[in-house]
Every structure is written in structure tokens, then in C-alpha cells.
Amino acid sequence: MAKNRKLYVAKQAKKNEFYTQLSDIENELRYYQGHFKGKVVYCNCDDPRVSNFFKYFSLKFEHLGLKKLITTCYRNQQPDLFSKHDSERAVYLEYEGDQDGNRRPDHHEIAVKHLNGDGNFSSAECIELLKEADIVVTNPPFSPFRDYVAQLVKYDKKFLIIGNKNAITYKEIFPLIKENKIWSGVSRWAGGMLFDVPDDHAKWLIKTGKEGSNYKFVNGVVKALSPSIWFTNLPHKKRNEELILYKKYSPEEYPKYDNYDAINVNKTAYIPADYDGVMGVPITFLEKYNPEQFEILGIANSARWIGYECLTIIEGRRIYNRIIIRNKQL
């Protein structure tokens, strides 16, 4: 049993080893630069010596006006991008800015320290580092995403993290969205995100998947393609942009659900400008969600309802994944 458990943990670790590209970090982080001045940033799911999150924040330390950068990794002391998670101890790095005037992070300026435990984000010593932080920025492992977000909320931390788009439907995550405690980042949802993966996982993707569906070749290198998005509780300009509505309501184009008094809207762009009742819209609506324009009432999907006890069904056919909203301006 113990051996099987170790194999399972190793398998899950490999599934979670999706490493964020620097370009994706740069494209998203440029919208939040005013939030970082005088702040302690914590990247608690990255091997700090090779993490692109560490690279980004250390190179831009002075430009952002950071106070301190802390990064931790899970059970790894080897300077490889893809950890084997086979060390009982882990390390963490602290960087407090340039000391010799060359405006770049040098080895002698980065404090490398050993953790007593395995570096798991939920461990007591990593929680102590979390308490010190003002903002958490990272790509947490997909499997424990619920627990990871719950910890950030518990300790009242600002954050900018990557998660699978389907996390929106989790019963632990959606209430936070509904209560405006977490929302979508700026980067577009369309197309998902590309990640670096270990060689064996890349081979598995080629063998079992389809190019353009779950992986892509970029300059001859296999990149995993994932329906991932940015989640945050940091304000950004896109969140307050008004969605321009141009369609007019008609019963023929917007049928009501069989078992609930709400109309179905197939695309966010098709939300009628003149309808003041309850509407079901695709989950991609959250990319355009402005809390000053709309109120989120609940969510329906093939597994559960959050907020209402019914399913979105039209003429006996179940409609997949709908956010239930109302226009606040009518």
C-alpha cells in the first residue's frame, strides 16, 4: 500500500508540473505594476532557481519598487526545471534587491536557505512565509487548487495565480467569484495557455493527444496546451470596462429554461441590452464581467447548481455550464 501511495504521489506531481512561460507572466503582470511598490511578493510553488516568476520579479525588483521577493519549492534541492520531488527537504530564496549597482540579481545577493520540511505550501514554515507576504504570484499545482485558494483567503492575501478554467465551477471557488472576492485576470481566455513540461510528459502528450488540442510545437519544442486563466483579487482596468450590448430581446432567439424562469444566452456578446430578467450565460462571461453592470446570481452545470436547485434545460435538453446573471442597470 505504501509503495502504491508513493507511485500515486509521483504521478500526481508529474501531472502538476506545468511551468509557466516568461512571456505569459510579462503579458499579465504589466497591468498590475502599481500594486507592487513597497510590497513583499511570495512565489510559493516554484523552484526559485529556475522559476520564471522569480526571474521576472528579481529582474524588475527596482522597477516595481519591491520590498522583498521570497520563493519556495516543493521537495527539491536540484537546480533542474523539472523537480523529481525526491528530497525530504526543500530550499527557499530571499532577494531584497541589487546591492552592487549593476541592477541585476547576482548569486551573492540572493539568500539561499533550507526549509526543515518539504516546502509544501500548506506546511507550517511556508505559512509563516505567507504571513510575511503582501502579494502571492505563482502557478499553483492544479490538483490542490481548492485548498490553495482557501489558504490565500484564510490569510487575507492579495494574489495573482494561474488555474484551470474549470475551477470556476468548483463549489469552493464559485462562491468567491459570486461575492466578488476573486475574478478573472486581464489575459484573454481564448486558446488557453502553453506550458513547459518534462520530456516524458511531452512524449505522452504526442502519443495520446492531438496537436492543437492538448499540445503545440513551438520552435520544435512540445508545449502543453491547457485551458488555464489568471485568477486574482487585485483591481485592474479591464474589470471596470462596460460590456457594450447591442442585441434586442425576442422570445424566439432567447428561449426560457423548462424548469426555471430565465432566458438562455448562447454567447456573452449576445446578451440582450433591453432584458431586465434573469439570464443564463456561458462561463466565458466571467472574462467580460463588470460588477457595476451585472449581478451574478448562481451557476449551473452538468454536476451541480450553486445558488439554485434546478438545471438549465431547454425542451428536455440540458444546456452545459451557465452563469446565472441579471443586468443591474435596467
Q: What is the pLDDT of residue 131?
A: 97
Q: Give the CA angle between residues 4, 170, 121 to the nearest 5°.
A: 55
Looking at residues 95-108, what average pLDDT do you find?
81
Closest CA to 311 of 252, 253, 264, 249: 264
Chain centre to alpha carbon of residue 219? 26
**Cα 269 to the chain's mean position, in Å?**
24
According to the model, what pLDDT value does residue 36 have? 97
Please name the residues in contact with 61: beta carbons below 8 A apart, sequence gap of 6 or more.
Answer: 69, 95, 97, 98, 105
The C-alpha angle 188, 191, 193, rounded to 5 degrees, equals 80
Q: Is 94 exposed, middle or buried (0-12, 13-18, 19+ CB in 10 A)?
A: middle
Q: What's the rounded mean pLDDT across residues 185-194?
A: 88
How do beta strands 278-281 and 260-264 pair? parallel
What pLDDT, on the 0 to 100 scale, is given for residue 65?
A: 95
DSSP state of 298: E
pLDDT of residue 81: 35
Confidence band of 259 (pLDDT split at 50, 70, 90): confident
Strand ranges inside 24-152, DSSP E:
40-43, 68-72, 91-95, 110-114, 135-138
Rounded Cα distance, 243 and 268, in Å: 9
**pLDDT tens-digit readout, 17-27:** 677 889 999 99
Residue ranges with strand state E in the chain: 19-20, 40-43, 68-72, 91-95, 110-114, 135-138, 158-164, 183-184, 193-196, 215-218, 221-226, 228-232, 256-257, 260-264, 278-281, 294-300, 305-306, 313-314, 317-318, 322-327
pLDDT band at 224 (very low <50, low <70, confident <90, very high): confident
Query: Residue 301: pLDDT band by 50, 70, 90 thresholds?
Result: low
> Could you tell me what percent of the chain has a pLDDT over 70?
84
Region label for 75, one of left (φ > 0), alpha (ψ between -120 and 50) or beta (otherwise):
left
Cell of 223: 508545449
Q: Say yes or no to pLDDT of 77 above 80.
A: no
| Length of the chain, in residues | 330
pLDDT over threshold 70, residue 12 = no
**Alpha carbons 136 and 134: distance in angstroms, whole number:** 7
Mean pLDDT of 181-199: 87
What does the pLDDT average to over 65-71?
95
- Average pLDDT of every residue of the chain: 83
